[in-house]
Amino acid sequence: MNIDQLRSELLERISTTDQPREVLKAEEIKQLYAVIPTLDPSERGPHGKAVNELKLALESAVAEREAALEDDAIMPLDVTAPWDVNTRAPHLLPTEQGTQHPLTRELENVIDIFTRMGFEAIESRQIDDDEHMFGSLNFPENHPARDGYDTFRTEEGFIPPAHTSTMQNRILKDGKAKLEAGGQIAAVSYGRVFRNEDVDATHEHTFYQCEGVFVSRDATLGNMLGTLRSFFEVYYGQKLKIKTQPAYFPFVEPGLEFAIEKPAALGGKPGEWLEMLGCGMIHPNVLKSAGIDPTVYRGFAWGGGIERLVMLKYGIEDLRHFESAKLQFLRKFA
């Protein structure tokens, strides 16, 4: 039996049948194996090798044919059709029942407060590069935040931002002309950020931040503390005590952790402090990277999570509720 001729016949059979795997059970293949014991010992090796190569070629053809049949079985989907022919219209919720997600609503509230204080609001990007994520913010080359264990990266080397500070260099460069004309830079950036976190009640891999930047000839740490205190008092609707403690962030010097005394409206008692965000005076290297002379101008910056604000305001005990899509949770804010 000519193996090459048989190969052609079986491959043709596979290409036309709806049950290609049955071809592997063909009687001709069984005969090829059955004849091996009758061959001269010197012929058995080459014959067996040829039969195995035939089997591999057939199995590969069968896999391709099965994949093609599977693709053909998938009906084309008309995404413009609301429902199938001769079927009832689905029961849809009326649009009047739609409400804003609590994070969207509270983020708009945060932005409104800062814009009324004179800050321009700029939405952050959801994909960025290493320079804006780290380089322009004075992160050293060996900083642990650059490690893939902390920060997501795409195959192309781009980064889903781990903080809205990625917008800081752009804000500074865009506002440089205002400074040189005798004005100031005042802006907040906001949006989603992404970190390689183990998810639990207080940690999420995706959340929202708001970042603030202010630069002028005479900006001071006192200006920053007054700005942040005013924001939190408006947001929580009462007078608040504040305190700070030293902290390290590559893009500010000095760096501080900013805390408020837990508002009484949230069940707080005197002496109960809540750390709310990181802040500080913008590092000279960050100003230089934007082409701003740090010997002439100085500024301050801060950044914090939106979820923390909302959890405190509404007594939410688990951060995961925000991304759960549970109507029972969302209806509380309707």
Closest residue by Cα to residue 160 from 147, 151, 171, 169: 151
Give the pLDDT band (50/70/90) at residue 145: low
Task: Determine the pLDDT at residue 269.
Answer: 77
Task: Determine the pLDDT at residue 290.
Answer: 95
- pLDDT tens per residue, range 62-86: 888 888 887 766 666 665 666 666 6
Output the average pLDDT for the chain.
86
Is the alpha carbon torsion for 270, 275, 277, 280 positive or negative? positive
- pLDDT tens per residue, range 19-74: 888 888 888 888 887 888 888 888 878 888 888 888 888 888 888 888 888 776 66
pTM over 0.75: no
Let me know if 208 is exposed, middle or buried by CB neighbors in 10 A (0-12, 13-18, 19+): buried
Residue with tokens 């795997």: 21
What is 191-219 written as a DSSP string?
Answer: EEEE-----BTTB-SEEEEEEEEEEESS-
Asked which of 76-80, 121-125, 206-210, 303-307 is least confident by mean pLDDT, the reply is 76-80
Task: Determine the pLDDT at residue 328.
Answer: 83
